[in-house]
């Protein structure tokens, strides 16, 4: 499961021919019935220094919250800042590209809309993006979960992303990119993300929450999912953080082994098609190792015709601009499958609503294969 190569190739192709205003990228409409609001939180954890820049004696994070809103009308949120877009474009090495291109992506979330719901009624899901990728690239999944009644916190892990913009105007780069990426690096990154997520949970469910709608969150119903290394980080986060009841790894190699006594809480692996033959043993030894240590409810799913980038907004945008990333299943279709199974997983394990979709193959999603 590549961490960088597929995404890099995509961006090289994607921005060789910039979109016009009429073909600006857009996120598909959420499938739930509730309007979606969004807001950003700037958080500082003063209890620990930054793991990548030790001279910074605190950990600073940006978090996007998506949630059910009381109204659907209002200005839509910006997908990402021009600085974040420019950093992604510069990473491709292609000149003469409008640096703000990605910041024009159209979203469905109303900026700073008033949250809707009853006190302690909404489950919380934390999402962690892939390495170097901003939190915005999980926006379609986050919007959809929120439209189904979830509060969703998408975390930018500072200095692991090409650019993170902060409210005072300063922008951090990818300090971790300059460090050799050996196995110890990835383990440190996954453990650091676990600490980030625990801090985010503290700020949303603690005695002095940082969000005006925090009273809506049910702290007994918290889940986590992520893409690539963000998905791989879900396992060590659950090991360290008992508040997370269920987790999903979307296409991420797990560099931190799951050791005995393992994990007894529900977990799901969701993968792109690893070989011409789906579900072939011996291909993903990382997941096979951890699978043996999982003693609770578990599923291993693969989606035919997909590649690593298919599960994020990168796949969606590529299709909209006519870019071939090597997937025979479209980005929009893959996003529909991802949304359906992620929603079903959290509905079953956070809301207690049985989901037959998770137990047997569905004619609605013939691309999805239940491996184990």
Tell me the pLDDT tens digit for each residue of 266-291: 999 999 998 877 788 888 899 999 99
Query: How far is it, in rounded angstroms, from Cα 14 to Cα 80?
Result: 17
pLDDT for the residue numbered 99: 81
> 3-class DSSP state for residue 219?
strand
Determine the length of the chain. Answer: 372
Low-confidence ranges of the chain (pLDDT < 50): 1-21, 94
pLDDT tens digits for range 139-182: 999 999 999 999 999 999 999 999 999 999 999 999 999 999 99
SS3 content of the chain, % helix, strand, coil (to 5): 35, 20, 45
* Mean predicted lDDT score pLDDT of the chain: 91
The phi-psi region of residue 132 (left if phi > 0; otherwise alpha if psi is between -120 and 50; otherwise beta) is left
Q: Which pLDDT score, from 0 to 100, does residue 92 have?
A: 66
The residues, any chain, with a CB within 8 Å of residue 334's CB and separated by 6 or more, are: 303, 306, 310, 311, 315, 327, 367
Q: How far apart are CA 323 and CA 317, in angstroms?
A: 8
pLDDT value of position 23: 61
Tokens of 10: 């995509």
Alpha-carbon span 210 to 203, nearest angstrom: 6
Place of tokens 């503290």: 202
User: For residue 326, what are the CA distances in angstroms to 9, 93, 138, 274, 307?
Assistant: 10, 21, 20, 13, 7
What pLDDT sits at residue 95?
53
pTM of the model: 0.93
Burial class (CB in 10 A: 0-12, 13-18, 19+), 49: middle
Distance separating alpha carbons of residues 361 and 372, to the nearest angstrom: 12
With vertex at residue 275, the alpha carbon angle to CA 251 and CA 12, rounded to the nearest 5 degrees, is 60
Domain ranges of the chain: 5-370
Q: Which CATH superfamily hosts domain 5-370?
A: Alpha/Beta hydrolase fold, catalytic domain (3.40.50.1820)
pLDDT in tens, 187-202: 999 999 999 999 999 9
Name the β-bridge partners of 295.
Answer: none
186, 157 contact by CB (below 8 A): no
């Amino acid at each position: 499961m590549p961490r960088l190569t597929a995404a890099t190739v995509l961006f090289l192709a994607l921005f060789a021919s910039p979109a016009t205003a009429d073909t600006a990228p857009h996120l598909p409409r959420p499938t739930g019935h509730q309007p979606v609001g969004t807001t950003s939180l700037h958080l500082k954890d003063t209890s620990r220094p930054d793991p990548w820049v030790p001279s910074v004696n605190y950990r600073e994070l940006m978090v996007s919250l998506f949630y059910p809103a009381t109204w659907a009308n209002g200005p839509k949120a910006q997908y990402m800042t021009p600085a974040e877009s420019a950093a992604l474009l510069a990473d491709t090495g292609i000149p003469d590209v409008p640096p703000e291109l990605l910041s024009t992506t159209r979203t469905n979330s109303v900026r700073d809309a008033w949250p809707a719901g009853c006190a302690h009624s909404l489950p919380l899901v934390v999402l962690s993006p892939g390495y170097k990728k901003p939190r915005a690239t999980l926006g379609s999944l986050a919007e959809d979960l929120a439209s189904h009644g979830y509060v969703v916190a998408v975390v930018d892990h500072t200095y692991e992303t090409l650019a993170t913009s902060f409210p005072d105007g300063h922008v951090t780069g990818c300090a971790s990119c300059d460090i050799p990426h050996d196995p110890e690096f990835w383990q440190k990154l996954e453990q650091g993300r676990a600490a980030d997520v625990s801090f985010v949970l503290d700020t949303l469910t603690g005695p002095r929450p940082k969000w005006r709608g925090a009273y809506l969150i049910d702290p007994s119903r918290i889940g986590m999912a992520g893409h690539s290394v963000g998905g791989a980080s879900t396992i060590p986060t659950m090991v360290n953080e008992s508040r997370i009841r269920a987790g999903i790894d979307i296409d991420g190699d797990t560099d931190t082994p799951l050791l005995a006594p393992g994990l007894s809480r529900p977990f799901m692996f969701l993968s792109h098609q690893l070989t011409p033959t789906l579900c072939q043993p011996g291909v993903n030894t990382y997941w096979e190792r951890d699978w043996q240590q999982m003693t609770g409810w578990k599923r291993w799913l693969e989606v035919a015709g997909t590649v690593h980038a298919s599960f994020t907004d990168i796949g969606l945008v590529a299709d909209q601009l006519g870019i071939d990333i090597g997937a025979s299943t479209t980005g929009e279709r893959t996003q529909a499958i991802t949304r359906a199974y992620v929603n079903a997983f959290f509905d079953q394990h956070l809301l207690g609503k049985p989901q037959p979709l998770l137990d047997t193959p569905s004619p609605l999603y013939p691309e999805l294969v239940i491996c184990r």
